[in-house]
Amino acid sequence: MLKQKLGQKLQQKLSPQQIQLMKLLQVPTASLEQRVKEELEVNPALDEGRTEEDDYDTNDSDDENAQADNIDFSDYINDDVGTSSYKTKTYNYKDADDNKTIPIPVVDTFHEYLVQQLGMVRLNERDGKIAAHIIGSIDDDGYLRRSLEAMVDDLAFGQNVFTDEVELEKILKVIHRFDPGGVGARSLQECLLIQISKKQGDNKYVDIAEDILENHFEEFTKKHYTKMSRQLSITEDDLKMAIEEILKLNPKPGSGYSGGTKVENYVIPDFIIINDNGELKLTLNSKNAPELRISDNYKEMMVEYTRSKEKNKKQKEAMQFIKHKIDSAKWFIDAIKQRQQTMFNSMQAILDYQYGYFYTGDKTRLKPMILKDIAEKTGLDISTISRVANSKFVQTEFGTFPLKSFFSESLSTQSGEEVSTREVKEILKTMIVGENKRKPLSDQKLTEGLLKQGYNIARRTVAKYREQLNIPVARLRKEL
């Protein structure tokens, strides 16, 4: 049976400007310029440049307020959309540098370099096609990841070249002679063997190294040095010298080529903290404050419309379009300004919270800090702080760091003091750096060492922190 009843429900709905702000907060400084360009392209009512103070004075005449069919444009004529009053310029970035771009050297790519070498090898047209296909399948590290079986099918269907794995293997051996050494290898073992074979005859340790790579590779990767010495019937000193020969080889031959296809990513800081005579000062990167305004042409069209005595349907529709575009432009400008203010306030709260670290650079002075702590200090939502911290970087006199790195959980020492997990990781790293590499500290020994310093942590937690620091287990840290 259907029933009708009257109910009341409270529901929060985000305004278009709030949605715009949330999206812009997630954008790092490096991508903000592109986002602004996109908005300028789609909205002709948005313009670059600072608003002139004397552009329009709407207090002189009521006629300057465009009010037609409940469309009020006065806000857009009066509104000053200049940048916020807080600092957006940096102490170490000159204004002239803002428009400079990072030069990218024009050089041959890694694959072009291989193709050049292919041109110096005598191959018939068919074999040349096969060799070129193999080179095209080599990745940026210099490895051939695609199987020969799959490449046989690729050549048959893609280039109408019929071959087999034996022929591909023969042509691949030719590419193995190319520079850099190890290129075209299908595994780390093959890569190192290709390189060591080119050094044959240099000294006896090279021969031992080749034997290790060919016949004792598993023991080598697991650092079973005693077992290797026994199997090879050599002294520990000879083994050490042979391993040094292996360590001279390049495990990623492609990445060592200066003309590689990869372009370095430069981190553009979103915030800058400087020590000005003992006082820490925070500024936003000036690229975070683009100068935007409402287009003068659109303002002129509004004034002309208000002065026009006859307002036909076509003109009214044009004004509706103009209003829509100006609304969008104003929302975007306001969102940019709010983004600046929100980012500045959030980073200032982080600076205040971690003042000891930013003043000294001592990582052990980092306090436990979670998103909720900064949300409470700023009065912002946790999700907003999360968006600010995501993909953002701060430049300090000690280096440039991601904001996320300053957030960490807390744990209690034996004295009951709350410390950051980041502090514990730094102490753990120091212990491992200072260990005897002939007898590296096991996770249990590391746990006991931390306990002596007052950090009561379980062994599994120590193992987790070690893995987060990308430090291998004790056996793999062992050196001769």
Instruction: Give per-residue pLDDT as tens, 253-277.
Output: 888 664 444 445 577 889 999 999 8
Position 449 pLDDT exceeds 60: yes
Positive or negative: CA dihedral 161, 163, 168, 174: negative
pLDDT above 70: residue 102: no
Say how many C-beta atoms besides its own lie within 10 A of residue 344's C-beta: 20
Q: Do 241 and 118 lie in a common domain?
A: yes
Alpha carbons 368 and 353: distance in angstroms, whole number:
10
In the predicted model, is pLDDT for residue 296 greater than 90?
A: no
Same domain, 119 and 213: yes
Q: Is 445 exposed, middle or buried (0-12, 13-18, 19+ CB in 10 A)?
A: middle
3-state SS record for 99-157: CCCCCCCCCCCHHHHHHHHHCCCCCCHHHHHHHHHHHHCECCCCEECCCHHHHHHHHHH
Average per-residue pLDDT in the chain? 80
Q: Does residue 166 register a pLDDT over 90?
A: yes
Q: What is the pLDDT of residue 11?
A: 54
* pLDDT at res. 21: 72
CB distance 173 to 199 below 8 Å? no
CA angle 271, 395, 288 (to 5 degrees): 25
Could you tell me the pLDDT band of residue 96, with boundaries at 50, 70 and 90?
very low
> In the chain, pLDDT over 90 holds for what percent of residues?
27
Tell me 397's DSSP state: T
Residue 201 near residue 169 (C-beta atoms within 8 A): no
Q: Does 276 reside within a domain?
A: no
For the chain, counts of helices (H) and of strands (E): 21, 10
Task: Characterize the bridge pairing of strands 393-396 and 271-276.
Answer: parallel
pLDDT of residue 110: 87
Is residue 266 domain-resident? Answer: no
pLDDT digits (tens, 9 = 90+) for 301-358: 877 777 776 777 777 888 888 888 888 888 888 888 888 899 999 999 999 999 999 9
Task: Assess whether 378 and 468 both reside in one domain.
Answer: no
Q: Which residues contact 383 (CB under 8 A, 6 or more apart)?
A: none
Q: What is the pLDDT of residues 180-191, one digit of tens each?
A: 899 999 999 999
**Residue at 278 is within a domain:** no
Residue after which a domain boundary falls, among 372, 396, 420: 396
Tell me the CA distances in angstroms from 169 to 126, 186, 197, one per residue in order. Answer: 15, 11, 18
Do both 374 and 418 map to the same domain?
no
Q: Could you tell me the residue range of the domain that residue 328 belongs to?
A: 27-53+64-85+283-304+313-396
- The residue among 463, 390, 391 whose CA lies nearest residue 428 is 463
Tokens matching residue 337? 């300004």
**Could you tell me if residue 35 is inside a domain?**
yes
Could you tell me the pTM of the whole model? 0.54
d(CA 219, CA 211): 12
What's 264's DSSP letter?
A: P
Residue 274 domain-assigned? no
Q: In what order do the strands lie in the sheet with 393-396?
A: 279-284, 271-276, 393-396, 399-402
Rounded Cα–Cα distance for residues 275 and 242 (Å): 50
Are 384 and 414 members of one domain? Answer: no
Task: Check whether the bond before 253 is cis (ω within 30° of 0).
Answer: no
Provide the domain count of the chain. Answer: 3
Residue where one domain finishes, among candidates 364, 396, 428? 396
CA–CA dist 207, 184 (Å, integer): 23
Going through 59-142 in order, the beta strands assigned E by DSSP cover: 67-68, 71-72
From 34, 73, 76, 86, select the one nearest 55 (Cα to Cα).
Answer: 76
Instruction: Tokens 């552009």: give the residue.
Output: 55
C-beta separation of 351 from 282 below 8 A: yes
Of 211, 200, 193, 317, the residue nearest 251 (C-alpha): 193
Residues 97, 99: Cα–Cα separation, whole Å: 6
